[in-house]
Structure 1
Amino acid sequence: MQEAPSNANENCVGPTSESAGKASACEGCPNQGACASGAFSSPEAIAKAEAEAQQLRHSLRNVQHVVLVISGKGGVGKSTVAAQLCHTLASQGYAVGLLDVDLCGPSAPRMVLGDDYVAQTVRHSGSGSWIPVYSSSNIAVMSISFLLSDHNQAVIWRGPRKNALIQQFLTEVDWTGETDGLDYLIVDTPPGTSDEHISTVQYLQKAQNIAGAIVVTTPEEVSLADVRKELSFCKKTSVPVLGVVENMGTFQARMNQLRFLSAHGSDCTEAILATLREKCPEVLDCLVASDFFAGTGGTERMCHDYVVPFWGRLPLDPDLLKSCEMGKSFTELFPEATASLALRDFVGRLVQSLPVEMHD
């Protein structure tokens, strides 16, 4: 059965169903007239859909696993998680691609390439395919950012134009590179269940090449309420949830990274650090941690209720933020940090869930 259009009603019977355009679920759907007339079920429409599916399968033939990084909430750190998963996988020898489909807020390129991302543009191969930007021999990145002449330019596009670009990203990018393909293609998505979201899932399902999703949340109920909707979206669209990551629930930093203020708000950092260096220097090597949100365990309870794996917590670490700004691998720069241990654990779970087949 051909998949429902991205703007279809929730209980769509499918555009090729005998009751398409006539069922009660079709009432009010913008596609009702087209479905009822057989526009989606004609031999020409079916042939076109199959041709698109073949094109997608051909484009992704050398990608072993496609993994979405998603969340129903904005600002929870999807791009941070996506970029650092790429860095960590690459540091372990895997060939990785990062596809940024957050068309209105493409932040992933900076997190992989640092300041160099502004100088990067997409080139075409001899066959006309787009060649992604490589930050190293085994990390490839594709983003609308590389297509913009002005990186401060706002992308103000309606759904059809966004959908067309996402389809181009999935069908016209050559991921072969020096590694003869990718072990993992990580897809950084925008928040919620937007057009980009739905289109990406539907196109990948056409190619039968969607391994699963990593869901990112913060622990407060405002975020969890939206993430529950995302988990429902995954269930309805048959996208396996590989794991849920709780991000930024705890702040962690070394003592000497902190600023100290007096009761009146004046900065007394230098004086306090000088006293500590003199009186108890060993304290400066300690980690300071603080929970941002009252109450704990909400993410784990949500995972239990939806029967999805809870992967663990990624603390907010100033060095992690700096690594993202510089486009560097946090696990390589700060291998002993708590956040590095968490990221390596996430990668271990990912590789265990989706092992890479080795070819001769």
Structure 2
Amino acid sequence: MTEASSENAGDAPANANTGCVGPTSETAGKASACDGCPNQSACSTGAFSSPEAVAKAEAEVEALNRSLSNVSHVILVLSGKGGVGKSTVAAQLSHTLSNQGYAVGLLDVDLCGPSAPRMVLGDACTSQTIHKSGSGAWTPVYASANLAVMSISFMLQDTNQAVVWRGPRKNALIQQFLTEVDWTGDTDGLDYLIIDTPPGTSDEHISTVQYLQKASAVSGAVVVTTPEEVSLADVRKELSFCRKTDVPVLGIIENMGSYQTRLSQMEFSKDGQDCTAQMLAVLREKCPEVLDCVAASNLFSVNAGGAEQMATDYGVPFMGRLPLDPDLLKACEQGKSFVQTHPNANAAVALKQFARQLNKVLPVNMDE
């Protein structure tokens, strides 16, 4: 199927074929890209171009514009592969930007596996709920005056409850998140809205991008990957998704390519027996200065340049590498900002560099 070329394609239903010409196009339901689409019959009969349908679409755009009117930049955090640390990057970028004084919102649209609340609020996430303001809009949960988070987990009676929803219900909730959340808070809006998405190119991605594009609100995407080919192969599909949906790629982050920790935090063994206490005692006696050194080990065998080479091949920025650090994982579990708890760690340096790169391509006037 061909890629969309019509200016009406942004109004395509979430379950439309790739290459949808748009339900209000003159060739809707008739173009070759329409073959096999579940909406083909409705489009060909003008169901989406009726006065009622047009009025509904206009109302959706108005609601989106109103909801995002005080949001300067919207950043999607994407990955084609699960388990690569996408939520870690989204949460810690949110922490880092808010530490720098920016007003930040973190929207979790990973409806079946929401983890952003814990990474921002820690244990307090289980006791938080959302409520509607006097205007009828949802108020997000605030970790601080300039860091807010919104997630389906705040709406569940049991945090261990599985969300078993089909596409239409997911799409409806995502639309509500984008049109009915009041991000005003004490900061009169957001400088950055970071959207944590599930892995892949599923309904959640398509719906989020299409809704945001109706309001011309997609600033770009940060794509996260680990350096091995198994992950890169799926992330290339994510980059293809960004191209097809006209989402600018702000950069690629290579995560967890190496393990880094202070020598004093490591465990030692010999012949299958733990000898950590003895080894640390010897080091403290003989060479105490090495205990504060950082030991590192590459976790993957990287062929053909890893994520950096992939970024070059696709002509998108390579933002850098975020090492696997046990203290970073602990900060995420506790809902803390790693750049505050461990400002000199290599992972903290990387996070601050990522934030600076985003500031550069998506500037905010802090004097306003």
| Range class of TM-score, shorter chain | over 0.9
Shift of the alpha carbon at 1:3? Answer: 2.1
Shift of the alpha carbon at 1:43? Answer: 2.2
Once the two structures are superposed, residues 204-236 of structure 1 have per-residue CA deviations (whole angstroms, 9 ceiling, x without a partner) of 111111100000000000100111110011011
Instruction: Specify which of 295, 301, 306 is matched with residue 294 of structure 1.
Output: 301
In structure 2, C-alpha distance between the alignment counterparts of 1:128 and 1:300, rounded to whole Å = 46
Report the equivalent of 1:181: 189
Name the SS for the 2:83 alignment partner: coil
- Higher alpha-carbon deviation: 20-29 or 74-83: 20-29
Unmatched tracts of structure 1, length 5 or more: none
Report the equivalent of 1:254: 262
Instruction: Specify which of 117, 124, 140 is matched with residue 132 of structure 1.
Output: 140
Q: Matches of residues 119-158 of structure 1 in structure 2 within 5 Å?
A: 119-158=127-166
Question: TM-score, structure 1 length as denominator?
Answer: 0.98
Name the SS for the 1:247 alignment partner: strand
Report the equivalent of 2:5: none
Instruction: Specify which of 61, 70, 78 is matched with residue 86 of structure 2.
Output: 78
Report the equivalent of 1:159: 167
In structure 1, C-alpha distance between the alignment counterparts of 2:32 and 2:130, rounded to whole Å = 47
Report the equivalent of 1:53: 61
Name the SS for the 1:22 alignment partner: coil
In structure 2, C-alpha distance between the alignment counterparts of 1:11 and 1:128, rounded to whole Å = 37
In structure 2, C-alpha distance between the alignment counterparts of 1:116 and 1:358, rounded to whole Å = 30
Report the equivalent of 2:101: 93
AA aligned to 2:299 is: F
In structure 1, C-alpha distance between the alignment counterparts of 2:205 and 2:163, rounded to whole Å = 17
1:323 paired with 2:331, answer: yes
In structure 2, C-alpha distance between the alignment counterparts of 1:280 and 1:357, rounded to whole Å = 50
In structure 2, C-alpha distance between the alignment counterparts of 1:48 and 1:124, rounded to whole Å = 23
AA aligned to 1:281 is: P
Once the two structures are superposed, residues 232-251 of structure 1 have per-residue CA deviations (whole angstroms, 9 ceiling, x without a partner) of 11011110100100000000
1:226 paired with 2:234, answer: yes
Unmatched tracts of structure 2, length 5 or more: 1-7
Name the SS for the 1:44 alignment partner: helix
Q: Return closer, same or farther for 1:287/1:358 CA change in 2, 3 Å cut-off.
A: closer
AA aligned to 1:332 is: Q
In structure 2, C-alpha distance between the alignment counterparts of 1:202 and 1:29, rounded to whole Å = 17
In structure 2, C-alpha distance between the alignment counterparts of 1:75 and 1:127, rounded to whole Å = 38
1:171 paired with 2:179, answer: yes
In structure 2, C-alpha distance between the alignment counterparts of 1:359 and 1:344, rounded to whole Å = 21
In structure 2, C-alpha distance between the alignment counterparts of 1:39 and 1:33, rounded to whole Å = 9
Name the SS for the 2:278 alignment partner: helix
1:236 paired with 2:239, answer: no
Name the SS for the 1:98 alignment partner: strand
Instruction: Specify which of 95, 103, 117 is matched with residue 111 of structure 2.
Output: 103
Name the SS for the 2:84 alignment partner: coil
Instruction: Specify which of 56, 63, 73 is matched with residue 65 of structure 1.
Output: 73
Give the aligned CA root-mean-square deviation in angstroms: 1.0
Name the SS for the 2:269 alignment partner: coil
Report the equivalent of 2:291: 284
Report the equivalent of 1:273: 280
Once the two structures are superposed, residues 71-116 of structure 1 have per-residue CA deviations (whole angstroms, 9 ceiling, x without a partner) of 1110011110001001111111000000000000000100000000
Question: TM-score, structure 2 length as denominator?
Answer: 0.96
Name the SS for the 1:249 alignment partner: strand
In structure 2, C-alpha distance between the alignment counterparts of 1:256 and 1:97, rounded to whole Å = 36
Runs of 4+, deviation exceeding 2 Å: 357-360
Report the equivalent of 2:3: none
- Higher alpha-carbon deviation: 216-225 or 22-31: 22-31
Instruction: Specify which of 23, 35, 40 is matched with residue 48 of structure 2.
Output: 40
1:347 paired with 2:348, answer: no
